[in-house]
Amino acid sequence: MLAAQSHIAAGLRFVVDLDLEKFFDRVNHDVLMARVARKVADKQVLRLIRRYLQAGLMTGGLVTARSEGTPQGGPLSPLLSNILLDDLDKELERRGHAFCRYADDCNIYVRSRRAGERVMASITRFLTERLRLTVNAAKSAVDRPWKRSFLGYTVTAHLQPRLRVAPRSVERLRDKLRAAFREGRGRSMAHTIKDLIPVLRGWINYFQLAQVKGTFEDFDGWLRRKMRCILWRQWKRPRTRATKLRQRGLEEARARQSASNGRGPWWNAGASHMNDAFRKAYFDKLGLISLLEQHRRLQHAA
């Protein structure tokens, strides 16, 4: 991602975002084995790789022969994909293009939309004719880099662009956590937070290169609001809610009025009475990590 950032800062303000259609399902075995044979001379190893590629595929309880593609999740598949797509790397280098590729994700950086459309057309032909791969026209595009994402990141639209987390990456994390929140309605808050910690730590470790911190601050606020929403749902009755709010330091009249306002859990989770009763320090004590604080620690450690 840092290489992509430097390409954009150098004036390459358009990106050819290539998406290979069902890459791991569509790899041609003969084309792949021809590339592997350039690197491996041992015929026994080549036969073993061929057998690995042709291993049966379990579908509906029945084993069917595999005539194309590589086993999904297999430890050898990423290596084989890089061997196949090495031809693409060499072709882009030969043409003098600035590009970034990771497995089947590839971005090529150019100075204008017209140049990008030319590159898109010529590289699509190369992939089709030389490697027998299909470019997904619906997901591929020539656009501004800040309107596309690469490996979960995107950039700001500044002259000196800054890395930030792509909105789709944030939404995917929210979707993943919503299942844990639904389960958390019948469990203690500490138990729910314990389940969230590994997911949050893994996510922020991956996105530690991001330079725009507002994403983490906004997510922290959303996460704490979801926690307050769980609490509000667990209390169920106005009398219980009033009691809990008084226990957290709210005056009796305010607690009673807030508990019987007739609003839904999400509204109450963002209202002042729940924010005053359950501040950040409460969740910190339970072990809930702050993405913003974790990001700062990772930046200082680097």
Q: Is 70 exceeded by the pLDDT of residue 185? A: no
pLDDT digits (tens, 9 = 90+) for 220-261: 999 999 999 999 999 999 999 999 999 999 999 999 999 999
Asked if residue 194 lies in contact with residue 186, where contact means CB atoms within 8 angstroms, the answer is: no
pLDDT at position 188:
85
Rounded to the nearest integer, the mean pLDDT of the chain is 90
Q: Confidence band (pLDDT; 50, 70, 90) for 177?
A: very high
Q: CA distances (Å), 195 to each of 141, 181, 184, in order?
A: 38, 10, 10
Please count the other Cβ atoms lying within 10 Å of the Cβ belonging to residue 95: 13
Q: Is 80 exceeded by the pLDDT of residue 56? A: no
What sign for the dihedral angle of Cα 145, 146, 150, 154? Answer: positive
pLDDT digits (tens, 9 = 90+) for 13-39: 899 999 998 888 888 898 989 999 998
pLDDT at position 91:
95
If residue 37 lies in a helix (H) or strand (E), which one and from where to where?
Answer: helix 29-39
As a whole number of angstroms, the distance between CA 148 and CA 154 comes to 6
pLDDT digits (tens, 9 = 90+) for 109-140: 999 999 999 999 999 999 999 999 999 999 99
List beta partners, residue 154: 164
List beta partners, residue 62: 59
As a whole number of angstroms, the distance between CA 236 and CA 23 comes to 49
How many whole angstroms from its chain centre is CA 161? 20
Q: Of 131, 150, 152, nearest to 81 (Cα)? A: 131
pLDDT at position 6:
83
pLDDT at position 210:
95
